[in-house]
Amino acid sequence: MISRVEKGLRNIITHVLKNQDGSDWWDNINRRVSRSAENVYSNKYGVTPLPSGDELIEYTYLPSLKEIVLDNWNDFKHIFQDINDFTHDMDRLNIIRREESHNRIISPSLILELEEIYKRLLSSIEQEVPGIVPHFLIENWRSQLAKIFDYLSKNMVEITEEDRKDPRVVMEKFQRFRDFTSDSKYKLEGLTVPPSNTSTSVKQK
């Protein structure tokens, strides 16, 4: 999940800053951040000249991504809304990432927190540019579908032989069933379906 948050942040940073500053957007970010990514790239490939920022952004990680957004907050505040909430979420993600990188067991409470941050950040990104985070769109669609069908299965109305003896009971249960199915139909129609060119065979997180 953390790697997908990183990918989503890279995508939205590239989208926003490229629209703002053009193809040379990378030259305008904090030099310490850009130099760090360039060093990672050079150490890995030993290639010069360096590629464009669209590729170099792939060599940035949570602390640098957070710094880029905060340095350009006026361009991102309409997406993430509250600077304190965004900072807190990024700091917590980094803590969880460190725990994960040291092969420590992630507690259930941390997993729950990670899931909430994941949904919060990626839903904000997806609302700004629909389809920019296809994995999130698919997973959210699957999650909502599962909730609807779980709701239906838990509220299925069974009419027993004893019920059939009393028409009033049958009618009451039928009314309940009709309400449940009508509610579920309404929820299904409100789902955002992933684009047809987006594969739905994404691996489960």
The arithmetic mean of pLDDT across residues 125-134, rounded, is 76
Q: Hunting for tokens 């769109």 — which residue is that?
A: 137
Comparing 144 with 8, the larger pLDDT belongs to 8
Mean pLDDT of the chain: 82
Q: Is the pLDDT of residue 69 over 80?
A: yes
Q: Residue 19 — left, alpha, or beta (φ > 0 → left; ψ -120 to 50 → alpha)?
A: alpha
Angle between helices 73-80 and 62-71 (to 10 degrees): 110
Residue 136: both structure tokens together: 């999130």
CA separation for the pair 86, 91 (Å, rounded)? 9
Comparing 87 with 99, the larger pLDDT belongs to 87
Neighbours of 53 (CB within 10 A): 24
CA separation for the pair 74, 132 (Å, rounded)? 21
CA separation for the pair 95, 100 (Å, rounded)? 9
**pLDDT tens digits along 158-203:** 878 888 888 888 888 888 777 777 777 766 766 555 544 444 444 4
Q: Which of 95, 92, 98, 86 is nearest to 122 (CA)?
A: 86
CA separation for the pair 34, 21 (Å, rounded)? 15
Query: Is residue 59 within 8 Å of residue 34, measured between CB atoms?
Result: no
Model pTM greater than 0.75? no
